[in-house]
Amino acid sequence: MSNVPASTDGDPELVQLLTPDGERVSHPEYDVDFTDEQLRGLYRDLVVVRKLDAEATALQRQGELALWASLLGQEAAQVGSGRALRDQDMVFPTYREHGVLYCRGIDPLKPFRLFRGVEHGGLDPHENKFNMYTIVIGAQTLHATGYAMGVAMDGKVGSDDGEAVIAYFGDGASSQGDVNEAFVWAGVFNAPLVFFCQNNQYAISETNERQTRVPLYQRAAGFGFPGLRVDGNDVLACYAVTRRALDEARHGQGPRLIEAFTYRMGAHTTSDDPTRYRIASEVEAWQAKDPILRLRRYLDRIGAADDAFFGEIADEAAREAVELRERVLTLPDPQPMDMFDHVYVDESPVLTEQRDEFARYLATFEGGHHS
């Protein structure tokens, strides 16, 4: 049996501003003050991000992507935290933060290039203040910590203009040495860093009980900084807690841990079969907590949007998905010789020799392709 207390709605330990029924509730410490237009904007983000994700899963099923790591169910955690970022803040994602990437204004084609096998990343982290996806579990939390130490060394903390860093990871990653080392380092160096853990309940097939004896947010206390648990399916609450944590970090108050309690509605990746390790009723219970549905109910309840709006957004998302599909299908493959590029800034003669050897070999085939 589980020895990890599960969070339920109404749990005082869970920061929630919007119930699954779309009822706006108050919290003693956290609040948001959005205009109707801003709320509609969040709704749009959630719907588009989900639609593009669904398109990706479809493309993988059709053999057009090697793999896809779906964010289905985690849209609120990603859009809420992603929209809480200020321009100067820096993001260190895992390989599932397509929603945060979208909020960062990066071409949504980017992760498709990776999962289609056209490139490994190919991104300048400074351009949109968004680092490349990191596939090795938890490794990026140390990169985020070092980067945040650099922010502090540059004197960029201590004011509203200060820079903060956010490191994404999951419940499985919380067991990694690198994540725990990142906690230690961020703590002792007082790094301006928000650790954002999307606890989607599963590390592929393994549940929280295999990763932790305590609720994950409580880990922070042992490392000397605050941690909290937020309803990860509540975009308003995710925004509120992330905004506050980032602002505290940028003002020099050090690291924070946010555990966004959510649920991975789909498979770990398209290579996974979740029916082997979880029952349908559990998935159904979480469907009732759907992040998009609850915001829609809320918008409906307060009269901030009507069916025409919801229909418009659905159409817009569908159009974006079709457009994206076209762009994925017409992505040019890299050229064989490209694989030798960018191993080093200053290429070694040994590698140049191998590059030339391969070029000569290729030239023996008509058209320069041997496949």
Partner 1 sequence: MGRALNEGLRRALEDDARVLIMGEDVGRLGGVFRITDGLQKDFGEQRVIDTPLAESGIVGTAVGLAIRGYRPVCEIQFDGFVYPAYDQIVSQVAKIHYRAAGKVRLPIVIRIPFGGGIGAVEHHSESPEAYFAHTPGLKVVACANPEDAYWMIQQAVASDDPIIFLEPKRRYWEKAEVETGRPLASAYPLHSSRVVRPGRHATIVAYGPMVRTALDAAAAVAEDGRDLEVIDLRSLSPLDLTPVFDSVRRTGHLVVVHEAPRSGGLGGEIAARVTQECFYSLEAPVLRVTGYDIPYPPARLEEEYLPDLDRILDAVDRSLEY
Ranges within 241-260 binding partner 1 (CB under 8 A): none
Ranges within 110-129 binding partner 1 (CB under 8 A): 119-125
Contact residue for partner 1 among 149, 237, 258, 265 (CB under 8 A): 149
> Positive or negative, the Cα torsion across 267, 273, 275, 276?
negative
Which three-class secondary structure state does DSSP give residue 135? coil
Beta-carbon-side half-sphere exposure of residue 287 (alpha carbons within 13 Å): 7
The verdict on 222 binding partner 1 (CB under 8 A) reads: no
Determine the Cα–Cα distance for residues 140 and 134; give it in Å rounded to an integer.
Answer: 6
**Burial of 281 (C-beta count, 10 Å sphere; 0-12/13-18/19+):** exposed
Contact residue for partner 1 among 24, 61, 342, 370 (CB under 8 A): 342
Ranges within 68-107 binding partner 1 (CB under 8 A): 92
Q: What is the DSSP string of 312-369?
A: HHHHHHHHHHHHHHHHHHTPPPPPGGGGGTTS-SS--HHHHHHHHHHHHHHHTSGGG-
The verdict on 153 binding partner 1 (CB under 8 A) reads: yes
The verdict on 337 binding partner 1 (CB under 8 A) reads: no
User: In DSSP terms, which residues pair with 130 in a beta bridge?
Assistant: 91
Beta-carbon-side half-sphere exposure of residue 232 (alpha carbons within 13 Å): 28
> Residue 28 or 349: which CB sits closer to partner 1?
349
**Contact criterion met (CB below 8 Å) for 35 and 301:** no
The verdict on 136 binding partner 1 (CB under 8 A) reads: yes
Q: Which of 24, 120, 210, 277 is catalytic?
A: 277
The verdict on 151 binding partner 1 (CB under 8 A) reads: yes
Contact residue for partner 1 among 31, 161, 282, 341 (CB under 8 A): 341
Known catalytic membership, residue 116: no
> Residue 153 or 359: which CB sits closer to partner 1?
153
Known catalytic membership, residue 277: yes
The verdict on 146 binding partner 1 (CB under 8 A) reads: yes
Q: Contact region for partner 1 (CB under 8 A) — 15-23, 134-142, 238-246, 279-287?
A: 134-142
Q: Which of 40, 113, 116, 268 is catalytic?
A: 268
Residue 322 to residues 56, 185, 327: CA-CA distances in angstroms?
11, 44, 9
Q: Minimum Å distance from CB 17 to partner 1? A: 32
Known catalytic membership, residue 268: yes
Q: In the numeric block, which tokens belong to residue 56?
A: 């990706």
The verdict on 185 binding partner 1 (CB under 8 A) reads: yes
Contact residue for partner 1 among 10, 344, 367, 369 (CB under 8 A): 344
Q: Encode burial over 134-168: b for 16+ CB neighbours within 10 A, e otherwise.
A: beebbbbbbbbbbbbbebbeeebbeeeebbbbbbb
Site string for partner 1, 255-294 (x = CB under 8 A): ----------------------------------------
**Contact criterion met (CB below 8 Å) for 167 and 141:** yes
Q: Contact region for partner 1 (CB under 8 A) — 37-45, 54-62, 174-182, 230-238?
A: 174-182
Q: Which sequence positions are flagged as catalytic?
A: 264, 268, 277
User: What residue ranges bind partner 1 (CB under 8 A)?
Assistant: 92, 119-125, 131-132, 134, 136, 139, 141-151, 153-154, 177-178, 181-182, 184-185, 188, 341-346, 348-351
